[in-house]
Amino acid sequence: MSIDVGKIKKDFPVLQRSINGKPLIYLDSANTSQKPASVMDAMEDYYRKFNANVHRGSYQLANEATAILEGARDKVRSFINANSRKEVVFTKNATEAMNLISNTWGRENLSSGDAIVLTELEHHANIVPWQMLAAEKGFEIRWIKIDDNGHLDLSDFDQLIDGAKLLSFAAMSNVLGTFTPVQDLTERAHELGMVVHADASQYTPHSYTDVQALGIDFLTFTGHKLLGPMGIGVLWGKESLLDSMPPFLGGGEMILNVTKEGFSTNELPWKFEAGTPMVAEAAGLDAAIDYLSNIGMNEIRNHEIELTDYALEKLASEFGETISIFGPKAANERGGVISFTFDGAHPHDISQVLDEENICIRAGHHCAKPLMQVLNVGATSRVSMYLYNDQADIDALVEGLHKVRNLFTL
């Protein structure tokens, strides 16, 4: 392995846990990642030493809490190479960030006769907000299909984007692991004056993310998938776009002034951060970024390619035609996500049998029902790996699947 997984595992308290004498093997990081002790320490440290509301107090404690929140914003700005800290908006998760885009930019710019373009790879969070707005505004939603290997079929891409105002897509699929060609799609969309959003919920935790190099207009991701806590997400947007958008929620913090006649909005990014923010979660996100950065995002990506390649080969050689693996064939074309079906066994049964071995995987539609329809399955089993997984975890998975096969007489 390209990184020292044994050393890394020791940093994660939950990975030291055993159940019924069996070690925990966690293969569900696309759902949520585990947290190193440094993240928990940072959050506890905030509550023990600095707990106060931000931006409002003139006393030292409040100033220190504000510094923690705004320091995390600076950390995110550097992590994704944003041009300005004004472009980094904290939300409670990526879903809220995408709803923010649809309810502000979308509501201002889309109407009957317009069109937006999504892909068949999308998570519900990048589908339903647009469907809700389309039902109200009457614009068209067009779909980029996928091919048999889980890649985007771009044969009719120019026709799909012709006359459309927005292209919104997952930078990496949470089901197939497919990496989409972000820069190419963005360049072609920009030639027609479109705005481009990338859902990087799976991409940013596993690959170096440079929003300026990608060329996109919006990027969204969530803290809990990159070793950080639940309850904090990020919307990055170009400053000119964010400036032009109306506020999403109303209340404290997002205002500059309020009178009986109306209000004026605060400057960026606070214009989109109504109410008391998630300061402890920001401290945890800050610590998570430090942890990932100390290892190196390129090193993490290389590790996942090695491990995914090993897992794909092992599953194919052990189970042959009785297992169907969806998505790109080559490990370097996908993230550490493998979705599959097993002849004779329902995904939920597979998950339950593996749970008896203390192996955690996901079973279901993975919040991607339109993609399940394309794949012609109701659900899949999904294995998702991260920097704390190694070949021994995959070997244990394979042994668990042999138990599944024996139980269901495959």
The arithmetic mean of pLDDT across residues 163-186, rounded, is 98
Nearest to 91 by CA among 269, 350, 214, 227: 269
Amino acid at residue number 119 = T
Nearest to 336 by CA among 66, 26, 64: 26
CATH fit for domain 5-29+296-407, picks 3.40.50.150, 3.40.449.10, 3.40.50.620, 3.90.1150.10: 3.90.1150.10
On the 0-12 / 13-18 / 19+ scale of CB atoms within 10 A, 398 is middle
- Using 50, 70 and 90 to split pLDDT, how confident is the model at 1? low
pLDDT for the residue numbered 56: 81
Is 360 one of the catalytic residues?
no
pLDDT digits (tens, 9 = 90+) for 67-119: 999 999 999 999 999 999 999 999 999 999 999 999 999 999 999 999 999 99
pLDDT for the residue numbered 191: 97
pTM value is 0.97
- Using 50, 70 and 90 to split pLDDT, how confident is the model at 410? low
Task: Using the predicted structure, report yes or no on whether residue 409 has a pLDDT greater than 90.
Answer: no
pLDDT digits (tens, 9 = 90+) for 182-226: 999 999 999 999 999 999 999 999 999 999 999 999 999 999 999
Domain ranges across the chain: 5-29+296-407, 40-293
pLDDT for the residue numbered 220: 98
**Tokens found for residue 128:** 């339903």
Task: Using the predicted structure, report yes or no on whether residue 381 has a pLDDT greater than 90.
Answer: yes
Contact 365, 334 (CB under 8 A): no
On the 0-12 / 13-18 / 19+ scale of CB atoms within 10 A, 190 is middle
Our CA angle for 100, 105, 106, nearest 5°, is: 90
Kind of pairing between the strands at 166-170 and 115-119: parallel
Fold of 40-293: Aspartate Aminotransferase; domain 2 (3.40.640)
> Residue 60 CB: number of other CB atoms within 10 A?
10
pLDDT digits (tens, 9 = 90+) for 24-39: 999 999 999 999 999 9
Contact 199, 181 (CB under 8 A): no
Nearest to 89 by CA among 277, 264, 252: 277
pLDDT digits (tens, 9 = 90+) for 256-268: 999 999 999 999 9
53, 58, 59, 62 alpha-carbon torsion, rounded to 10°: 20
Q: Catalytic residue among 40, 323, 367, 410, which?
A: 367
pLDDT for the residue numbered 2: 76
